[in-house]
Amino acid sequence: MERKELDEIISLLRERYPDGDRCGLRFDSAIQLLVSTILSAQCTDVRVNKVTPVLFAKYPDAASLAAADISDLEDTIRSCGLYHSKAANIKKCAQSILDDFNGNVPDNLDDMVKLAGTGRKTANLVMGEWYKEPAYVIDTHVKRIWHLIGISESTTPEAIERDLRKLIPPDDEKASDALALSHLLITHGRNTCVAGRPDCENCCIKEHCSSYTGTVKKSRTTKKKR
């Protein structure tokens, strides 16, 4: 796909979802964003936003999170699911921030991915939202829709990230569009291109989607044969 077409897709998605290019999580610091993103694994942003006000009132920073009683931490985040592993990762992550980074969430991708519970998706989100650096967030919605649209043939998050970096390089004057596109595709995946039941007819980018246009072309060919 050429950059011009990708820009058209971004423009159409922004028109359809005026607030869809923003992060849905609520946070007041880098550590709060990091923890919120860890909690969002297999959980909705809406649910996370209901849990974090209580969580951050108790544990507002890395020091308090590292010192948190694991049982209380688990109980506080229980409704987010996977609370045993998430609580353990949050405590370990906070302790590493204290021990290795002077209490500050690292401001580079290489160091951030070393933290417990922090993969490239989470690290990219924090880099983009908090540190305002070029960021390439590839979650399940982005991966699925990226493949359906046919932007590239890549199927793994790492390969998709590389493809997106080529289309929107970090030194591009509109590099922030990469993070915006990720948020827009996530919004689109939740509202229109829903896994297993996509509403293709009401999709604002269907004319740019190889899955849709291929199906239409195949359907027309079949009708002609009849």
Domain boundaries, the chain: 3-21+136-214, 30-129
Reported as a single tens digit per residue, the pLDDT across 140-151 is 888 999 888 887
pLDDT of residue 221 exceeding 50, the answer is no
- Span 168-176, mean pLDDT? 95
Residues carrying an active site annotation: 121, 139
CATH T-level fold of 30-129:
Endonuclease III; domain 1 (1.10.340)
Reported as a single tens digit per residue, the pLDDT across 7-40 is 999 999 999 999 999 999 999 999 999 999 999 9
Q: Which residues contact 196 (CB under 8 A, 6 or more apart)?
A: none
Q: Give the pLDDT confidence score for residue 152 in this predicted structure.
A: 72
CATH T-level fold of 3-21+136-214:
Endonuclease Iii, domain 2 (1.10.1670)
Reported as a single tens digit per residue, the pLDDT across 104-125 is 999 999 999 999 999 999 999 9
Alpha-carbon span 107 to 97, nearest angstrom: 11
Alpha-carbon span 50 to 53, nearest angstrom: 7
Q: Give the pLDDT confidence score for residue 219 in this predicted structure.
A: 46
Reported as a single tens digit per residue, the pLDDT across 64-103 is 999 999 999 999 999 999 999 999 999 999 999 999 999 9
Q: Give the pLDDT confidence score for residue 225 in this predicted structure.
A: 52
φ/ψ region of 181 (left if φ > 0, alpha if ψ in -120 to 50, else beta) reads: alpha
Domain 3-21+136-214 shares a fold with domain 30-129: no
Band of residue 43 on the pLDDT scale cut at 50, 70, 90: very high
Q: Give the pLDDT confidence score for residue 76 in this predicted structure.
A: 98
pLDDT of residue 202 exceeding 90, the answer is yes
Chain-wide mean pLDDT for the chain?
92
pLDDT of residue 127 exceeding 70, the answer is yes
Closest CA to 55 of 31, 22, 21: 31
What single string gives the DSSP state of each residue in 106-122?
-SSHHHHTTSTT--HHH
Closest CA to 186 of 21, 18, 8: 21
Distances (CA, A) of 66 to 50, 63, 136, 183, 214: 22, 5, 29, 30, 52
Q: Give the pLDDT confidence score for residue 226 in this predicted structure.
A: 52
| pTM of the model as a whole | 0.89
pLDDT of residue 214 exceeding 90, the answer is no
